[in-house]
Amino acid sequence: MEQMNGLVESVQESAAEHELWSPHDTIVVAVSGGPDSVALLRVLHDISLNRMPLTLICAHVNHGFRPESPDEAEFVRSIAEELGLVFELGVFDIPAYIKESGLGPEGAAREKRYQFLIETAHRYGARSVALAHHADDQVETVLMRMLRGSGLSGLAGMRWKRTEKKVELIRPFLRINKTTLVDFCQKQGYAYVVDASNLLTKYKRNAVRLEILPFLEGYNGRVRQSLLQLAEIAGAEDDFMEVTTAKYFEELVSKVHGKYTFDRASFAAIPFALQRRLIKLILNYLSADSSVADFPKIEAVRRGTLQDYPTTWSLDLGVGLTCVRQYDTILFSSKPSQRQASYTYRLSLPHPRLRLDEIGKVMTMAVLERESFFVKGEDSGKMSAWFDSDELVFPLTIRSRLPGDTIKVMGLNGSKKVKDIYIDDKIPSSERSVIPLVCDGLGNIVWIPGVRRSMHAAVGRHTTSVLLLSLQELDESVRQP
């Protein structure tokens, strides 16, 4: 009884520190039948009876790997019946799933196991799934991630709790050693099963446990404790960095139509460590595939952002994502379609309003008497333009840009390529495709909205009638009365 109380006290202390559960929570307990999970079920059951009202669901997964798997399932069922708990069994053919998914044995088993546990939690309205990972598992996890190559988040190892599909995965045993749990079961007389596959070094985790850690202990007898301390320190610092990164995300990053952008100068002003995390956070928002946020890709984006030249570039980040630098703006998005919108419309009275659905804009046209308008300065760079309606050749055409387009710009002797104007004005390539061109009846480009107007039909002192063209967002026009 004293040993039970000691283990319960330790678990309760960790649970309170990390807010693992509250009174009347429903918890799905993952029980494989080994000493770790048997101890977890027994301890949580004791807590639910004597310390805090909890509803427990005993869940077991038969992976179909070994002949003894059905017997182990019945063993766990018998424990649940002994304790008066609901029992849930998931049966999977993992060898078949390995062939289907292309995953390794450990990855395939883990995916199906977590899928079943989370679905069980949803069915019972459970707040969490309790997992029996202990301190030795944490040591192995941290070491495996070090060998693989990891940042601070990886060195934090397994977390006390994390949320997946609105269910918390909790690990109450992360500070308790395997030997303590085995000793607990043996002294309390709690039966458990031994999985012989845990001794096979063909599995990476087993190789770390059976070969690498004993080798390292030859150099440092406290290497396990050192790795646990590393996980604790890294976890706390990683949490702080995540909160700080989220704050910078809110301040610096804009999201429009599923695309994320930030200003290059603002990004350069934050510390390097947060630069990497900010890029990673954006990529994680865009894709659930963790491979997109690996260090080489993040560093390529970061360095390309900080370098003065080139001022425009595009990086393929894989899994359908791309990062584009457009002068002082960095843009992350799904890969754009290779086909640009192609359209041609005719604008003429008495239809003064034209929807341009391809680019989400609307063009309006109004004819004004000279006395009712006032022209202030140069029209270029504005979303409205004035023309002498008597000098303008109708009908007007609104179309998408074509290769080789040129415009006769006011104050310039001769024509200039539209492409060169876009480059000179540092207009991002992603924005160029949504700028329409207004042409007169002879095919001359008379206006590039927001960029330039041509020398054609300029308003002067002899103008008696003015044509006003305006371009605005389609949504804004819809809201107008």
Q: Residues at the annotated binding site?
A: 32-37
CA–CA separation, 216 vs 219, rounded Å?
5
- C-alpha dihedral over 149, 153, 154, 158, to 10 degrees? 180
CA–CA separation, 59 vs 40, rounded Å?
12
| Tokens standing for residue 194 | 């031994």
DSSP count for the chain of H helices, then E strands: 17, 22
What separation in angstroms does the CA of 176 have from each of 13, 173, 182?
A: 12, 5, 11
Residue 301 C-beta-side C-alpha neighbours within 13 Å = 29
Q: What is the DSSP string of 302-346?
A: HHHHHSSS-SEEEEEEETTEEEEEETTEEEEEEPPPSSPP--EEE
Q: How many CB atoms lie within 10 A of CB 478?
A: 9
DSSP secondary structure code for residue 67 in this structure = T
Annotated binding site for ATP: 32-37
Residues making up the chain, counted from first to last: 481
Which distant-in-sequence residues (6+ apart) come within 8 Å of 443 by Cβ?
Answer: 397
The DSSP element (H or E) to which 452 belongs, if any, is strand 452-453
The DSSP element (H or E) to which 262 belongs, if any, is strand 259-263
